[in-house]
Structure 1
Amino acid sequence: MPPAPEPHLEKITSGNVEAACDLRVRPDQEHLVEPVARSLAEAYVWPDVAWPRLIYDGDDLVGFLMGFFRIPWREDSPGDLRSGLWRLNIAAGRQGRGYGRFAVRAIAEEAARRGEQRVYTTWEPGDDGPERFYLRLGFQPTGELSGGQTVGALDLPAPDTGDR
């Protein structure tokens, strides 16, 4: 029996944008994350920093992620450029199967490829929010808030320089 396909990322195209916009999280999570269509509109407005991708398992669309790279975090500190996970939407019937972990790993790998040493994300506080998910993956709250959301940071492993 051949191994099960690994999840993979695909860019948004004219052939998959409708399916992307139709992707829905569970109804009880809708207040926690923006719909994919809004994320794609934001990616259109900030094309230099947004990195939208669809998550597929084989041919099945299972989720959406959007990374951000090198955005000024605070107006009073223009040198504080950050990268990380902007949005994560896993389809309602596909949650709990590792796709969220895959998405965070994909963002971390892309950030490391771009020379970053840390990635950030935000989450809605509260018992019904995704805080436990992000903490299990190694994110630590920074003590900051962004738009009322908790800011978390994940340190990336140092690049392997091959020196041994």
Structure 2
Amino acid sequence: MTAVRLEKITPDNVESACRIAVRPDQERFVSPVAWSLAEAYAQPAVAWPRLIVDGDELVGFLMGFFRIQWHPNHPDDVRSGLWRLNIAADHQGKGYGRFAVEAVCAEARRRGLTRVFTTWEPGEGGPERFYLRLGFRPTGERSGGETVGQLDLAES
């Protein structure tokens, strides 16, 4: 990793963003970038989509979410965190995923938040170990069949 940074999605980079592909064995664990961008378009007040760029090379995509009412029966349970993370297959294992999670955490802190959430699909070859190593802890909740994890920003 050299000069890793986040970039906003623009008309100039959207096609490249949509070409980001994880390994074939990981496709069942994460939605394609194009799907994530459609969700971001539909929820612009909540979604925070960014490209992960190292030097001149596009290496991944992340999408944060900020201030979502988690459950209709609990209007005070408002959450933020990491919605999507796609690191290109040939760039995995180089620290870009950690960079992405840290970037979402930094944005959450900037917004005055003290914790972030994410979800992951359980299963062999899935991202659970990655999120646990970064400090996320399962809350005991499920969302759409996925495990809900929480990271206390004071501890990270």
| TM-score over 0.5 for the pair | yes
TM-score bin, normalised by smaller chain: over 0.9
Q: Superposed, which structure 2 residues align to 1:4-153 within 5 Å?
A: 5-153=2-150
Q: Distance in 2 between matches of 1:157 and 1:61?
A: 31
Q: Matched residue pairs, number?
A: 155
4+ residue segments displaced more than 6 Å: none
AA aligned to 2:53 is Y
> Gaps (5+ residues) in structure 2?
none
SS at match of 2:28: coil
Tell me the SS of whatever aligns to 2:106.
helix
Q: For each residue in 1:6-25, what CA deviation from the matched residue of structure 2 results, as whole angstroms up to 9, or x when unmatched?
A: 31000000110000001100
TM-superposed CA distance for 1:128, in Å, is: 1.6
Q: TM-score when scaled to structure 1?
A: 0.93
The percentage of aligned residue pairs carrying the same residue is 70
For structure 1, which runs of at least 5 residues remain unmatched after alignment? Answer: 159-164
The 3-state SS of whatever aligns with 1:54 is strand
| TM, length-normalised to structure 2 | 0.97
Q: RMSD between aligned alpha carbons?
A: 0.9
Distance across 2 between alignment mates of 1:12 and 1:126: 31
1:127 Cα deviation (Å)?
A: 2.0
In the TM superposition, residue 157 of structure 1 has moved relative to its aligned partner by 1.9
**Cα distance in 2 between the residues matched to 1:130 and 1:112:** 24
Q: Which has the larger radius of gyration?
A: 1
What is the letter of the counterpart of residue 49 of structure 1? Answer: V
Letter in 1 for 2:142: L
CA distance in 2, matches of 1:145, 1:116: 22
Question: Aligned to 2:122, what secondary structure does the other structure show?
Answer: coil
